Amino acid sequence: MPARSNMPESPPAIRGKGEPKGEAKGASGRGAGPLARPGLAAMLPNMSWHVYLLTCADGTLYCGVTSDLARRLAEHNGGASGAGAKYTRARRPVALAAHAPCADKSAALRLELAVKKRPRAAKLVFLLGQPDAVAGAEQAAVPSAAGTPTGGAA
């Protein structure tokens, strides 16, 4: 009789429904995900995230995060879907005061929080102090949905 070790046996690999025997999943029962396959990450679009600051018609500021700045600005100004933030719906038209690109969504959310924690007078200055930040008046590629030039900050 062979000696048994005190180490527990590892659980058997779990296969998903319809998967061939050679493609076992991990112990969690989930696959490794689409980015685990070599070369797939290079085929996915490079999503850039932006933190943006809007000046509303009543002079207030609104800060947000998006991966598509032109679409989000159009939504805030009542674009086709009308999915702008509840805050800006009653304060249209809005104009882009500034925006700053971020490496990923996590970095964008952290920067948004840092902007929101600052007093009103410091928000625009802080956001424009970020690397590659652009003031709204300098942004020609993102026109407002109302057809007026973007820009202006309170």
Q: How is the chain split into domains, by residue range?
A: 53-138
- Residues 84-96 have pLDDT tens digits of 888 999 899 999 9
Query: Which of helix, strand or coil describes residue 108?
Result: helix
What is the CATH code of the structural domain delimited by 53-138?
3.40.1440
Handedness of CA 83, 99, 50, 108 (dihedral sign): negative
Q: Is the pLDDT of residue 121 over 60?
A: yes
Confidence category of residue 7, pLDDT binned at 50, 70, 90: low
- Residues 59-107 have pLDDT tens digits of 999 999 999 999 999 999 987 676 788 899 989 999 999 999 999 999 9
Contacts of 74 (CB under 8 A, 6+ apart): 80, 145
Q: Is the pLDDT of residue 134 over 80?
A: yes
